[in-house]
Amino acid sequence: MDDQDISIPSINFEPRVAFVRTVWLLVQRVSKMTKCVKGDSERRRFILQTIQPGLAGLMDGSVSTLAPVFAAAYATHRTHEAFLVGLAASIGAGISMGFAEALSDDGVLSGRGHPWRRGLVCGLMTTLGGIGHTLPFLIISFSQAIFAAIAVVAVELALIAWIRHRYMDTRLVAATFQVIAGGMLVFLVGVLIGSN
């Protein structure tokens, strides 16, 4: 076997780097916003009205769309079909979660703020959570798309664990374990269903 028989697929990391950079900038912006919030009551209100609905949306979008996206990918071995399923699941989940959050309470009794604002935050973060690991399926190569999508899922789950640790006073080890365990269960469901 000579050197010409070995082919290593080239992977374009630019879209993944851009996604990670965007997520990091978003995290930095939210961190700066919370530093501007003064006092415990203002911080509590910020967490109840922005962080909590955003985190719920990000968790739902990142985890609940794993099964349909990876089931479609493994069932068809075609990245375009997996992308369409992921896009539909992400947008549909965003709309559903947005309305669910907005209609859950009027914010008066709970102090959670304006319901439509919470619904918008929750819906957008749900869609963002699902779109993140859907975008790699724009890559034509199945193996490269799967590799990239799994890498994005790892970033999404790490981000969720960090947000839970930073704003919800959850120990980082516990938050990481909980998020990874939930994500892995849903991921495995998608792979098992798609492989049959």
Instruction: Say what the pTM is.
Output: 0.75
Q: What separation in angstroms does the CA of 63 have from each of 38, 110, 111, 149, 179?
A: 33, 27, 28, 13, 9
Type and span of the H or E element at 174: helix 172-195
Task: Report which of residues 43 and 146 the model is more confident about.
Answer: 146
Q: Please, what is the average pLDDT of the chain?
A: 85
Nearest residue to 68 via CA among 15, 137, 125:
137
Q: What is the pLDDT of residue 131?
A: 95
Whether residue 33 contacts residue 169, with contact meaning beta carbons closer than 8 Å, is answered with no
Condensed to tens digits (0 to 9), the pLDDT of residues 31-75 reads: 666 555 556 778 888 888 889 999 999 999 998 899 999 999 999
Condensed to tens digits (0 to 9), the pLDDT of residues 90-136 reads: 999 999 999 998 888 777 777 777 888 899 999 999 999 999 999 99
Q: What is the pLDDT of residue 162?
A: 93
Identify the band that residue 12 occupies on the pLDDT scale cut at 50, 70 and 90: low
Condensed to tens digits (0 to 9), the pLDDT of residues 172-185 reads: 999 999 998 988 89
Contacts 24+ apart (CB under 8 A), 64-68: 64/89, 64/93, 64/130, 64/186, 65/89, 65/90, 65/93, 65/129, 65/130, 65/133, 65/134, 66/133, 66/153, 66/183, 66/186, 66/187, 66/190, 67/186, 67/187, 67/189, 67/190, 67/193, 68/190
- Determine if residue 51 is left, alpha or beta; phi over 0 gives left, psi from -120 to 50 gives alpha, anything else beta: alpha
